[in-house]
Amino acid sequence: MSLVSRLKRLLVGKPIATKHAHNERLPKRFALPVFASDALSSIAYASEEIMLVLATVSVGLLSYTFNISIAICALIGLVAISYYQTIHAYPQGGGSYIVSKTNLGPFAGKVAGASLLIDYILTVAVSVSSGVLAIISLAPQAQTYMVEIGIVAVALITVANLRGARESGIFFAIPTYTFIVLVIAMIITGLFREGRPVPTEIAQAPVKELSWVYTFLILRAFASGCTALTGIEAISDSTQAFKEPVARNASQTLAIMAGTLSFMFIGSSYLAEKFHVIPMKVTATDFKTVMAQLCIYIFGPGSWFFPALQVATALILFLAANTAYADFPRLSSFIAKDGFLPRQLGVVGDRLVFQNGIVLLSVLSTILIVLFEGDTHKLIPLYAVGVFLSFTLSQFGMVFHHLKKGSHWLNVGISGLGGSVTAVVTLVIFVTKFEYGAWLILVALSAILIVFSLIKRHYTYLGEVLTLSEDDTVPIVKTTALLLVPRLHRGVLKAIAYSQSLTNDVRALHVTLDPGRTEDIKKEWNRFGADIPLVILESPFRSLVDPIIEYIDQAREEDPHTMITVIVPQAVPKRWWHSVLHNNVALYLKVALGSRRNVVVTNVRYFLP
C-alpha cells in the first residue's frame, strides 16, 4: 500500500462495502445532533445579531429584542409545520431542491438548489467563526488567532465527515446534548435570579419610544435574527439517513428540534433583556458574546458553569458546521446526477460518503473564513437570504403538490401561508441587508445558475457526440512506435523489446544535444538496436522536445491514419526523491503533444535494482 493510501486509511478508516449501506442509517437520538446542531446552535448568535443591529442606533432600543424573538419563533413554528408536511410527502428526501424541481419546474429547482449550496457554505463559515468567538470569550489571548483556529476546526470536521455518517452521529451527540442541557439550565436559573439593575449606559440612552422612524432598523434586526431558522430544512433534505419508518422518525425529530429551538431562543432573548446585556464588537478588548455575558451575570464569573457553557457552545457550533457537511454533499450529488454539477460530486466514496462534496465544502468555507477574517457579524448579512428563498420555493412547491394530489384544503392553506410569509421575509432580508452584503448573494446565485447551465450544456453535448449510432464501426489503424534513445543503457533494452512486441514499424529517435556523442550512440545502437532503424535528429536550439515534435508532425502528415506511439524509457529510482536527479521527458512530451491527434505517449519504466 502506498504512503498516500496508508495516510488516507489512517485518517478516514477502512472502506465500507456497498451492501453495508443500510447500517449507516441513524436512529433518532443520533439524527438529532447530526441534523439539528445547525438550527440549535444558532442560539449562540441569533439574539446577539438582533441586538447588534439595534445597538448601532442606540442601546435604548435593545428592549425590542424580546418582541422580535417572539415574531421569529412564530416563523419557526410555521416553517417547521410546513417541512413536517414535506417529510411525509417526500420520505425519500431531497428537500427544497426536489420539491421545487418536481412541482415548480427545473428553473425553480435550480434556484432552490443553488441557494441552499450557498447557505451550506455560509453555515460552515458562520458556525465555525461563531464557535471561535465562544472560545475567545473564555480565553481572550486567543483573539489574534481567530482565523487560524477556524481553519483548524474546519479541517477536523472534514476528517470526521470523511470517516462516514454513523461515526459522526456518535461523535456529535455528546456536545449537542450538553449544550441543550446547559442552556436550558441557564434559562431556568436565570428566571429565578434577580435581574441586573439598568446600567447607566442604557438609562442615559436617548430612545425608548416606538417610532415609525425605526421601522427599517427593526426589520433589519428581525432579518438578522432569522438566521435562527437556517438549518431547519436539513432534516427534510436527509430523511434517507433516518432509520425506518423514515417519515415518522424524521418528522418527530423535526418537531423536537423546533420546540427546543424556540424555547432556548425566546428564553435567552428574554434573559438578555432582563439582565440588560449590551452586545460587544469582536474587536473589543476583553470581548464576550451575549451568551457569555449572560452566563456571568447569572452564575458569577468564577462559576464552573461559565467555562462549561463556552466549551459546549464552541463545540456545538463547530459541529453545527456538520449539518452542512451532512447536507451539502448529498444535495450536490442530487444536482450532479441531474447533470448540473460535475459527475464526480455524485460518486460515493469508499466510506459511503460523498467525499468530493465534503472536500469542496471545506475549501469554499475556509476561503470565506479567511476573506471575512472570521467575523460572524460580517458574514451574517450574506446568510439567510438563500435559505429563505429556498423555503419559499419549497413551500409553494408543496402547494402545487397538495393540489395535484387533491389533499385537504388545510394542507394547501398551511403551505400557502408558509410560502407567502417566507416570501415576504426573503424580501425583508434582501432589502434590509442589501448594502451589507446581500447583493453578493445575488451575484453568487446568478454565477452558480450560469455554471449549472454551462455544465448541463457540456454533458448534453457529450451525450450527443459520444452516443454510438448504427453506422459506427471500429476503424482499422496501424501503429508506428517511436522509441526515444537519449543514450544506450540497460533500461533501454526493455523498451526496445516492448516496442518490438507492439508493432513491426519501430524507429529509434536520438536527439543530438551533445554532438560529440552522436557517433558513440550510433555504434552502440548497431550492437543492441536489433533491426530497428536509428533516426538522428539535430537540435540547433538544444531543445530535446522540439525536434521530436517536428518529426512526429512529419510522420503524421505522411500517413494520417497511423497511430504514433512515442515510447519513453524511464528509470524508476528506489527512492522517490531520487527522481529530481532524472529528467522527466515523457511529461514534457505529453504537454507539448497535448493538442495532436493520433499520438500516444507511453512511459516504459525500468526499475533500478
For its own copies, the closer of residues 142 and 563 by Cβ is: 563
Residues 235-254 that bind its own copies (CB under 8 A): none
Q: Which residues contact 5 (CB under 8 A, 6 or more apart)?
A: none
For its own copies, the closer of residues 83 and 452 by Cβ is: 452
For its own copies, the closer of residues 30 and 551 by Cβ is: 551
Which residues face 483 on adjacent strands?
Answer: 508, 567
Tell me how far, at minimum, the Cβ of 558 lies from its own copies, in Å. 17
Single-letter amino acid, residue 512: T
**Grid cell locating 284:** 473589543
Tell me how far, at minimum, the Cβ of 124 lies from its own copies, in Å. 22
> How far is the C-alpha of 570 from the C-alpha of 581, rounded, in Å?
12
CA distances to 483, 499, 505, 507, 602 from 531, rounded to whole Å, are 13, 12, 11, 9, 21
ω into 573 cis (within 30 of 0): no
Tell me: does residue 212 bind its own copies (CB under 8 A): no
Tell me how far, at minimum, the Cβ of 455 lies from its own copies, in Å. 6
> How far is the C-alpha of 182 from the C-alpha of 304, rounded, in Å?
12
CA distances to 30, 31, 81, 158, 398 from 35, rounded to whole Å, are 9, 6, 17, 16, 22
Candidates 209, 212, 474, 519: give the one binding its own copies (CB under 8 A): 474
Q: Which residues contact 23 (CB under 8 A, 6 or more apart)?
A: 166
**Binding track, positions 427-466, relative to its own copies; x by CB under 8 A:** ----------------------------x--xx-xx--xx
Tell me: does residue 350 bind its own copies (CB under 8 A): yes
For its own copies, the closer of residues 304 and 577 by Cβ is: 577
Tell me how far, at minimum, the Cβ of 356 lies from its own copies, in Å. 11
Helix (H) or strand (E) holding 567: strand 562-572
- Assess contact for 598 and 556: CB atoms under 8 A: yes
Residues 352-391 that bind its own copies (CB under 8 A): none
Tell me how far, at minimum, the Cβ of 542 lies from its own copies, in Å. 6
Residue 607 sits at φ, ψ, to 5 deg, of: -80, 120
Residues 484-523 that bind its own copies (CB under 8 A): 488-491, 493-494, 496-498, 500-503
Report helix, strand or coil for 342: coil
Candidates 211, 240, 446, 583: give the one binding its own copies (CB under 8 A): 583
Single-letter amino acid, residue 200: T
Within 226-286, where are the H helices? 234-237, 246-274
For its own copies, the closer of residues 324 and 593 by Cβ is: 593
Candidates 67, 178, 420, 602: give the one binding its own copies (CB under 8 A): 602
Measuring CA to CA, which residue among 504, 507, 534 is closest to residue 518?
534
Tell me how far, at minimum, the Cβ of 573 lies from its own copies, in Å. 7
Candidates 63, 344, 420, 518: give the one binding its own copies (CB under 8 A): 344
Residues 545-574 that bind its own copies (CB under 8 A): 563, 565, 571, 573
Query: What count of Cα atoms within 13 Å lies in the side-chain half-sphere of residue 196?
Result: 22
For its own copies, the closer of residues 255 and 592 by Cβ is: 592
Tell me how far, at minimum, the Cβ of 210 lies from its own copies, in Å. 50
Candidates 530, 550, 559, 587: give the one binding its own copies (CB under 8 A): 530
Q: Which residues contact 534 (CB under 8 A, 6 or more apart)?
A: 485, 507, 508, 510, 521, 522, 525
Tell me: does residue 3 bind its own copies (CB under 8 A): no
Which residues face 566 on adjacent strands?
Answer: 482, 601
From the list 46-54, 321-329, 363-371, 476-484, the region that binds its own copies by CB under 8 A is 476-484
Tell me how far, at minimum, the Cβ of 338 lies from its own copies, in Å. 14
Tell me how far, at minimum, the Cβ of 479 lies from its own copies, in Å. 5
Q: Map grid coordinates 524511464 to a residue.
A: 570
